[in-house]
């Protein structure tokens, strides 16, 4: 049973713990979980302050939507310097997700739009319910993505698709999002949280150093030239297999005591 985490957060966020899983819920359902600055600062605080023993995070939204993105009621006139600082606020918070201490599973439903899609892209595994809809409406509003979407979305869906979404306002359904690589799991409505929790628990059971390598090394290796990538991969592989936890798990496997792989 989940219990509240003792992390000071704004009312727009709910933090709970279920054994080794921390659960963070966006809690502005009346605003379709739109992201204001207070919520962004709270997200950064949550991922900075995870307590000992947490091995994975489940990120979800209360109500009928994951997140409709930037709270436009907060959009005000900014000069260039202020605009850069505001974007960097989002970058810092989402960096704590992508390159934080533990893997993050995001459960997506309803609107996953603009900054909400940028938030989802920072997670490591994404589960979508069939109600999910994806869009980047910034072009029609005269603005541009500022939460890291230019960096995180092209590797998932390609530059051309992102350009199309921003230029034309195209919306993708959950099934289309699954087909183009926005998500890795697609489930029926109402079943996303259970699936996300199951995956988070499976991830939490991995050796911590392996999870670290997947989170920290893999995305960077993918951006390297092949020669550098092979060298870093060999180094990371050697470090991981030398870990006592890895040695114990290999021994369990060879002695046929390890749990069987699941789908």
Residue 16 has pLDDT above 80, yes or no: yes
Lowest mean pLDDT among 42-46, 202-206, 227-231, 253-257: 253-257
Q: What is the mean pLDDT of residues 136-146?
A: 87
> Which is higher by pLDDT, 246 or 123?
123
| Percentage above 70 pLDDT, the chain | 92
Residues 45, 138, 175, 252: which is the catalytic one? Answer: 138
- Whole-model pTM: value is 0.92
Within 84-137, strands assigned E span: 104-108, 111-113, 125-129, 133-135
Given phi > 0 = left and psi -120 to 50 = alpha, else beta, which region is 255? alpha
Helical segments of 62-114, H only: 80-98
Q: Please report the pLDDT score of residue 258 as a whole number.
A: 54
Is 16 a residue of the active site?
no
Separation of alpha carbons 38 and 111, rounded Å:
20
Residue 64 has pLDDT above 80, yes or no: yes
Separation of alpha carbons 71 and 143, rounded Å:
13
Q: Which two tokens stand for residue 39?
A: 């919520």
132 closest CA partner among 86, 80, 91, 191 = 191
Q: Please report the pLDDT score of residue 83 as a whole number.
A: 87
The model's pLDDT over 228-258, given as tens digits with 9 standing for 90+, comes to 999 999 999 999 888 777 667 666 655 665 5
Residue 178 has pLDDT above 70, yes or no: yes
Separation of alpha carbons 233 and 216, rounded Å:
12
Q: Please report the pLDDT score of residue 78 as a whole number.
A: 78
Q: What is the mean pLDDT of residues 92-116?
A: 97
Q: Which two tokens stand for residue 20?
A: 């080794």
Residues 38, 45, 52, 118: which is the catalytic one? Answer: 118
Sheet with 104-108, side-by-side order of all strands: 3-4, 13-18, 21-26, 56-61, 104-108, 125-129, 185-187
Domains (ranges, CATH) in the chain? Answer: 3-204 (3.90.226.10), 208-254 (1.10.12.10)
Is 62 a residue of the active site?
no
Contact between 54 and 43 under an 8 Å Cβ cutoff? The reply is no
Sheet with 171-173, side-by-side order of all strands: 111-113, 133-135, 171-173
């Amino acid at each position: 049973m989940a219990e509240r985490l003792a992390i000071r957060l704004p009312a727009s966020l709910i933090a709970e713990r279920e054994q080794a899983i921390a659960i963070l819920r966006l809690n502005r359902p009346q605003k379709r979980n739109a992201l204001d600055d207070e919520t962004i600062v709270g997200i950064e605080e949550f991922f900075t302050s995870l307590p000992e023993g947490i091995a994975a995070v489940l990120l979800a939204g209360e109500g009928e939507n994951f997140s409709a993105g930037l709270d436009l009621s907060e959009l005000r006139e900014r000069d260039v310097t202020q605009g850069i600082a505001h974007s960097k606020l989002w970058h810092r918070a989402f960096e704590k997700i992508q390159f934080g201490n533990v893997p993050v599973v995001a459960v997506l439903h309803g609107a996953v739009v603009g900054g909400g899609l940028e938030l989802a892209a920072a997670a490591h595994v994404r589960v979508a319910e069939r109600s999910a809809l994806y869009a980047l409406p910034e072009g029609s509003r005269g603005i541009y993505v500022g939460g890291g979407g230019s960096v995180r979305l092209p590797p998932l869906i390609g530059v051309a698709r992102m350009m199309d979404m921003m230029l034309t306002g195209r919306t993708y359904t959950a099934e289309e999002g699954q087909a183009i690589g926005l998500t890795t799991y697609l489930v029926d409505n109402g079943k996303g949280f259970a699936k996300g929790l199951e995956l988070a628990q499976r991830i939490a059971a991995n050796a911590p150093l392996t999870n670290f390598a997947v989170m920290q090394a893999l995305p960077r290796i993918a951006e390297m030239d092949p020669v550098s990538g092979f060298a870093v991969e060999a180094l990371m592989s050697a470090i991981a297999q030398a870990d006592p936890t890895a040695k114990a798990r290999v021994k369990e496997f060879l002695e046929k005591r390890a749990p069987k792989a699941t789908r």
